[in-house]
Protein backbone atom coordinates (compact mmCIF):
# COMPACT_ATOMS: atom_id res chain seq x y z
CA UNK A 1 0.00 0.00 0.00
CA UNK A 2 2.86 2.35 0.84
CA UNK A 3 4.47 1.72 -2.51
CA UNK A 4 1.24 2.52 -4.35
CA UNK A 5 0.88 5.83 -2.47
CA UNK A 6 4.52 6.70 -3.11
CA UNK A 7 4.25 5.90 -6.82
CA UNK A 8 0.99 7.83 -7.05
CA UNK A 9 2.59 10.82 -5.35
CA UNK A 10 5.57 10.73 -7.71
CA UNK A 11 3.29 10.54 -10.74
CA UNK A 12 1.25 13.51 -9.50
CA UNK A 13 4.41 15.46 -8.79
CA UNK A 14 5.78 14.72 -12.27
CA UNK A 15 2.52 15.76 -13.93
CA UNK A 16 2.36 18.98 -11.91
CA UNK A 17 5.97 19.82 -12.75
CA UNK A 18 5.35 19.16 -16.42
CA UNK A 19 2.29 21.39 -16.51
CA UNK A 20 3.91 24.29 -14.71
CA UNK A 21 6.96 24.49 -16.93
CA UNK A 22 5.13 24.71 -20.23
CA UNK A 23 5.46 28.26 -21.52
CA UNK A 24 3.64 28.89 -24.77
CA UNK A 25 6.10 29.77 -27.53
CA UNK A 26 6.35 33.31 -28.82
CA UNK A 27 4.20 33.75 -31.93
CA UNK A 28 6.52 35.44 -34.42
CA UNK A 29 4.85 34.30 -37.63
CA UNK A 30 2.95 37.51 -38.31
CA UNK A 31 5.96 39.75 -37.78
CA UNK A 32 8.26 37.47 -39.73
CA UNK A 33 5.89 37.26 -42.68
CA UNK A 34 5.49 41.05 -42.71
CA UNK A 35 9.28 41.41 -42.81
CA UNK A 36 9.53 38.89 -45.67
CA UNK A 37 6.78 40.73 -47.56
CA UNK A 38 8.64 44.02 -47.15
CA UNK A 39 11.78 42.43 -48.53
CA UNK A 40 9.86 40.97 -51.47
CA UNK A 41 8.36 44.31 -52.50
CA UNK A 42 11.82 45.87 -52.55
CA UNK A 43 11.88 47.80 -49.30
CA UNK A 44 15.68 47.53 -49.26
CA UNK A 45 15.80 49.70 -52.39
CA UNK A 46 13.84 52.63 -50.93
CA UNK A 47 15.82 54.48 -48.23
CA UNK A 48 12.89 55.32 -45.93
CA UNK A 49 11.41 51.84 -46.33
CA UNK A 50 14.81 50.22 -45.76
CA UNK A 51 15.11 52.09 -42.46
CA UNK A 52 11.77 50.78 -41.20
CA UNK A 53 12.59 47.29 -42.45
CA UNK A 54 15.83 47.33 -40.47
CA UNK A 55 14.00 48.58 -37.39
CA UNK A 56 11.45 45.77 -37.77
CA UNK A 57 14.23 43.17 -37.93
CA UNK A 58 15.87 44.61 -34.82
CA UNK A 59 12.55 44.63 -32.97
CA UNK A 60 11.95 40.99 -33.91
CA UNK A 61 15.38 40.08 -32.54
CA UNK A 62 14.70 42.03 -29.37
CA UNK A 63 11.32 40.30 -28.96
CA UNK A 64 13.00 36.91 -29.16
CA UNK A 65 15.55 37.95 -26.53
CA UNK A 66 12.83 39.29 -24.25
CA UNK A 67 10.92 36.03 -24.59
CA UNK A 68 14.04 34.07 -23.66
CA UNK A 69 14.31 36.20 -20.52
CA UNK A 70 10.70 35.38 -19.67
CA UNK A 71 9.28 38.83 -20.44
CA UNK A 72 6.43 37.61 -22.63
CA UNK A 73 4.34 40.79 -22.43
CA UNK A 74 7.19 43.05 -23.49
CA UNK A 75 8.12 40.53 -26.20
CA UNK A 76 4.57 40.53 -27.55
CA UNK A 77 4.56 44.32 -27.60
CA UNK A 78 7.88 44.34 -29.45
CA UNK A 79 6.45 41.89 -32.00
CA UNK A 80 3.56 44.25 -32.67
CA UNK A 81 6.01 47.08 -33.22
CA UNK A 82 8.06 44.92 -35.58
CA UNK A 83 4.99 44.05 -37.60
CA UNK A 84 3.90 47.70 -37.77
CA UNK A 85 7.35 48.82 -38.94
CA UNK A 86 7.46 46.07 -41.57
CA UNK A 87 4.03 47.08 -42.84
CA UNK A 88 5.15 50.70 -42.97
CA UNK A 89 8.16 49.60 -45.03
CA UNK A 90 5.79 47.85 -47.44
CA UNK A 91 3.64 50.97 -47.78
CA UNK A 92 6.65 53.23 -48.31
CA UNK A 93 7.96 50.88 -51.00
CA UNK A 94 4.62 50.88 -52.78
CA UNK A 95 4.38 54.65 -52.51
CA UNK A 96 7.77 55.02 -54.17
CA UNK A 97 6.81 52.61 -56.94
CA UNK A 98 3.53 54.44 -57.57
CA UNK A 99 5.30 57.78 -57.54
CA UNK A 100 7.77 56.51 -60.15
CA UNK A 101 4.90 55.21 -62.30
CA UNK A 102 3.16 58.57 -62.04
CA UNK A 103 6.28 60.42 -63.12
CA UNK A 104 6.69 58.06 -66.09
CA UNK A 105 3.03 58.54 -67.05
CA UNK A 106 3.40 62.31 -66.90
CA UNK A 107 6.49 62.09 -69.08
CA UNK A 108 4.59 60.00 -71.66
CA UNK A 109 1.78 62.57 -71.64
CA UNK A 110 4.28 65.38 -72.27
CA UNK A 111 5.86 63.40 -75.12
CA UNK A 112 2.46 62.81 -76.71
CA UNK A 113 1.53 66.47 -76.31
CA UNK A 114 4.80 67.54 -77.94
CA UNK A 115 4.34 65.04 -80.77
CA UNK A 116 0.85 66.38 -81.52
CA UNK A 117 1.94 70.02 -81.86
Work out the angle between the directed axes of helices 72-115 and 47-68 (0-180°, nearest 10). Answer: 170
Residue 75 resides in a domain: yes
In a domain, 36, yes or no: yes
Cβ neighbours of residue 26 under 8 Å, at least 6 residues apart? 63, 64, 67, 72, 75, 76, 79
Q: Is the pTM of this model over 0.75?
A: no
Number of folded domains that form the chain: 1
33 found inside a domain: yes
Give a yes or no: residue 2 inside a domain. no
109: containing domain? 25-115
The CATH number of residue 48's host domain is 1.20.1270
Q: Is residue 103 part of a domain?
A: yes
> pLDDT tens digits, the chain, 117 residues: what are they?
455 544 545 555 555 555 444 556 778 899 999 999 999 999 999 999 999 999 999 999 999 999 999 999 999 999 999 999 999 999 999 998 888 888 899 999 899 889 887
Amino acid sequence: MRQILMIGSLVCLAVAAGCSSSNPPLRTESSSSAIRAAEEVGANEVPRAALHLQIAKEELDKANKLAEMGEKDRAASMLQRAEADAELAILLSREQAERSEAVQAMERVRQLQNANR
